[in-house]
Amino acid sequence: MSVNGKTVLITGAARGIGQEAARIFAAAGANVVAADINDCSQTVELVGKEGGKALAVELDVTDAASALAAVEQAVGEFGRLDALINNAALYGALRGGRFDAIAEADWDASMNVNVKGIWNCCKAAVPAIRQQGGGSIVNISSLAATFGMPFSLHYTTSKAAVIGLTRGLARELGRDNIRVNAIAPSAVLTEGTKEFFADKTEVALKTVKAGQALQRNLEAVDVTGAMTWLVSDDSRFVTGQTIAVDGGTVFH
Ligand SMILES: NC(=O)c1ccc[n+]([C@@H]2O[C@H](COP(=O)([O-])OP(=O)(O)OC[C@H]3O[C@@H](n4cnc5c(N)ncnc54)[C@H](O)[C@@H]3O)[C@@H](O)[C@H]2O)c1
C-alpha cells in the first residue's frame, strides 16, 4: 500500500480525521498538503515531529478561486498532484432536529460545504492530476447516508449526494486514469462529533456500536487505512465505489 512520494491534498486537515490523515500519509512518505479554512499549523507541526513533510494551505472549499489557489500552491511546492482527499465538511456546526425544523440557512450551508465544496475542489485538482497521468480522488461520505440517519436531514442528504457525485465523476474521469471513490465511516469521537451530538455523544457512540458487527467504536486510523489503500496503486482497478468503514453496520 505505497503512497511514498505521492503528493496528496487533504481538505479539512486542521483537526479530526483530516489531521490524522495528514499524519498517516506523511509518515508513509507522501508529500502532504494540509488545507483548511482554519489554521493547519498544528497539523504541520505534528507531521514535522514525526519526520514527515507537509505544507499548510488556507482553503475555503465553498470558493472555487480558493480551491484553485490551493492546488496551485500544492503543485508549486511539490511539482505534482497525485491525490485529493475531500474530507472537509460542515458537521459539528450544524444543528439537528426534525426534518421540518431544520433552519434553511443550515440546509444551504450543508449543501454548500459538503457537496459544492467537493465539486469545487475536484474542478481545481483534476487538471493537475490529469497532467501527470492520473491519480485518485477520495470523498468522505458517512454512515449517515448509507444507513439513513434521521433528525439531521441536511447532513444525511449532503453525504448521500457525495456518493452520487463519486459515481458520476468516476465514469467521467476513468478515461483520464483518475479514480474516484468514497468512504462511509461510522462514528468516531472527534471534536466535530462532540459538537454534533453535544450531551448525547456517549449515547450516540454506544448506539452506533450496538448496530455494528464489530463491537468497538471506529477510530480515525480505521478511516485513514481505507484512504491510504484508495490512494495507493493497490486499488488501481477500483473506482466509483463507496467503502463502508463502519465495523459492519450496512452491507452493500
Ligand atoms: N467524526 C465522525 O464520526 C464522522 C463519521 C462519518 C463521516 N465523517 C466525515 O468525516 C470528515 C471529517 O470529520 P471530522 O469528525 O474530522 O470533522 P471535524 O468537524 O472535526 O473537521 C472538519 C474540518 O473541516 C474544516 N472545514 C469546514 N468547513 C470548511 C470549508 N468551507 N473549507 C475548508 N475546510 C473546512 C473544519 O475547519 C475542520 O477542520 C467529514 O467529512 C465528516 O462529515 C465524520
Quick one: pLDDT at residue 218? 97
Instruction: Assess whether the C-beta atom of 37 lies below 6 angstroms from ligand 1.
Output: yes
Percent over 90 (pLDDT), the chain: 98
Nearest 5°: phi and psi at 193? -65, -40
Pull the grid cell for residue 241.
465505489
Contact predicate 91/196, CB 8 Å? yes
At 197, give phi and psi (nearest 5°): -95, -10
Closest CA to ligand 1's atom 40: 89
pLDDT over 80 at 146, yes or no: yes
Q: What confidence tier does 124 reach under pLDDT thresholds 50, 70, 90?
A: very high
213's grid cell: 458487527
Question: pLDDT tens-digit profile of 2-26?
Answer: 999 999 999 999 999 999 999 999 9
**Long-range CB contacts for residues 72-78, cutoff 8 Å, separation at least 24:** 73/33, 74/7, 74/9, 74/33, 74/128, 75/7, 75/128, 77/31, 77/33, 78/7, 78/31, 78/33
At 40 the pLDDT is 98
**Is 91 an annotated catalytic residue?**
no
**39 CA distance to ligand 1 middle (Å):** 14
Mean pLDDT of 70-87: 98
Q: What cell was used for 193?
A: 462529533
Average pLDDT over residues 107-133: 98
Q: Could you say which of 25, 78, 91, 155 is catalytic? A: 155
pLDDT on residue 211: 97
**pLDDT over 90 (residue 83):** yes
Name the closest-CA residue to atom 23, ligand 1. 12
Protein fold of 7-245: Rossmann fold (3.40.50)
Q: Whose CA is nearest to atom 4 of ligand 1?
A: 187
Mean pLDDT, range 29-51, rounded to an integer: 97
For ligand 1, pick from 17, 23, 183 the residue to mutate: most ligand atoms within 8 Å of CB: 17
- Does residue 1 register a pLDDT over 80? no
What pLDDT does residue 53 have? 85
Q: Report DSSP state, residue 30.
A: P
Angle between helix 16-27 and helix 41-49 axes, rounded to 10 deg: 30
167-183 CB burial, b ≥16 within 10 A, e <16: bebbeebeeeebbbbbb
Average pLDDT over residues 44-69: 96
CA 18 to centroid of ligand 1, rounded, Å: 7
Q: Determine the pLDDT at residue 162.
A: 99
What's residue 6's pLDDT? 97
The CB of 38 under 6 Å from ligand 1? The reply is: yes
pLDDT above 70 coverage of the chain, percent: 100
Mean pLDDT across the chain, nearest whole number?
97
Instruction: Confirm if 84 and 125 have CB atoms less than 8 A apart.
Output: yes
Pairing of strands 135-140, 31-36: unpaired
Q: How confident is the model at residue 101 (pLDDT cuts 50, 70, 90)?
A: very high
Q: What is the pLDDT of residue 252?
A: 77
Question: How open is the CA angle 147-155-11, to the nearest 5 degrees?
Answer: 105
Using one digit for the tens of pLDDT, what is the confidence trace for 161-196? Answer: 999 999 999 999 999 999 999 999 999 999 999 999
